[in-house]
Amino acid sequence: MKERQWSARGRQGQAAVETLVALPVLILTVLLVVQVLWLVFANATFRVAVSYSLRAGTINHGSINAMERTLVAAMASLQPLLPEGAGPEQGPSRNQLRRAQLAATARQWLHYQLTGRLQIHGPTEAVLREHSERRFDLMIDDWVNELPVDYASARIQDTDAVVWEQQRQLDIEVWWCLPLEVPLATQVLMQLRRWWTSPAQRHCRLREELTGRPLWAMQQRLAAPLLSGYREGLN
pLDDT digits (tens, 9 = 90+) for 72-96: 999 998 877 666 655 555 666 778 7
**For position 123, what pLDDT does the model report?**
92
Cβ within 8 Å of residue 114, ≥6 positions away: 207, 210, 211
Dihedral, 122, 123, 124, 125 alpha carbons, nearest 10:
-140
Q: What is the pLDDT of residue 4?
A: 53
What pLDDT is stored for residue 2 in this prediction? 46
Which among 211, 209, 216 has a CA at the least distance from the CA of 182? Answer: 216
- DSSP annotation of 80 reads P
pLDDT of residue 77: 87
pLDDT beneath 50: ranges in the chain:
2, 6
State residue 74's pLDDT score. Answer: 93
d(CA 116, CA 15): 50
